[in-house]
Amino acid sequence: MKLTEDKVYDTIREVVGEDTIDIIKYLKDKKNISDFKIAEEVDRDIHEIRNILYRLYNHNLVSYYRKKDRQKGWYISYWTFNKQKVHDVLKNLHSTKLEKFQTRLVAEEANLGNFYLCPNACIRVGFERAVDLEYRCPECGSILNHQDNTKTIGFLKEQINRLQTNGLAASITPLQKPVPNGNGHAVKKEDKKIARKAAAKPVKKAVKASVKKKKR
């Protein structure tokens, strides 16, 4: 699969961070550029630039060599963007996402239709835990509300299906992005369905909120 330039940037942005993008844009058609030169060109502090470069290096997205500057007596590093490695990063991102959705799905299905949510969003628990807590939030004391997670399960299944069917192409396509149809290509029925599902906001919100909760 050939990656478009946007896909390259989106992948790097998602995995390594927004602050890497102007460096990548600067490096993309060049080779062996010194860290000082990069700092000058993208107009950022040399320490910040090195930090970003090493982050990119951790993902194999750049390579470098060091050379001692004879006049100044210190080492200078020369950097090159490894565009072909973006594929590997995207593949990893894809399998991480798929795994995450699948793990979530198992957890949701284990509590099919039976989640309990604090109205202040302190906790979200399954049926058994809710009984243990006597349907009260242990953090704020509010009565827990029953929440049907059928929609969440549907959403997760769609996501998994999308990642499995469309493969890498689906990995970083934002859900809210309009379905491309302006260039004469027929829009697949399935894509339309996905786009419609993705537009169903409450489902998305529910997933986001519960994911956030999980991290606490």
| 3-class state of residue 83 by DSSP | helix
Residues 6+ apart with CB under 8 A from 163: 94, 97, 98, 101, 170, 171
By CB under 5 A, tell whether 42 contacts Zn ion.
Answer: no
Q: In this complex, which beta carbon is closest to Zn ion, that of residue 17 or of residue 141?
A: 141
Q: In this complex, which beta carbon is closest to Zn ion, that of residue 120 or of residue 145?
A: 120
By CB under 5 A, tell whether 209 contacts Zn ion.
Answer: no
Q: In this complex, which beta carbon is closest to Zn ion, that of residue 144 or of residue 198?
A: 144
Per CB under 5 A, the segment of 80-88, 113-121, 168-176, 180-188 that binds Zn ion is: 113-121
CA distance 133 to 52: 46
Positions 2 through 41 that interact with Zn ion (CB under 5 A)? none
By CB under 5 A, tell whether 105 contacts Zn ion.
Answer: no
Residues 6+ apart with CB under 8 A from 109: 153
Q: In this complex, which beta carbon is closest to Zn ion, that of residue 67 or of residue 212?
A: 212
CA distance 15 to 58: 11
Strand order in the sheet with 145-147: 124-126, 115-117, 145-147
Positions 115 through 174 that interact with Zn ion (CB under 5 A)? 118, 120, 122, 137, 139-140, 142
Q: How many residues bind Zn ion (CB under 5 A)?
A: 7
Do residues 45 and 39 make contact, with C-beta atoms less than 8 angstroms apart? yes
Task: Return residues touching Zn ion (CB under 5 A).
Answer: 118, 120, 122, 137, 139-140, 142
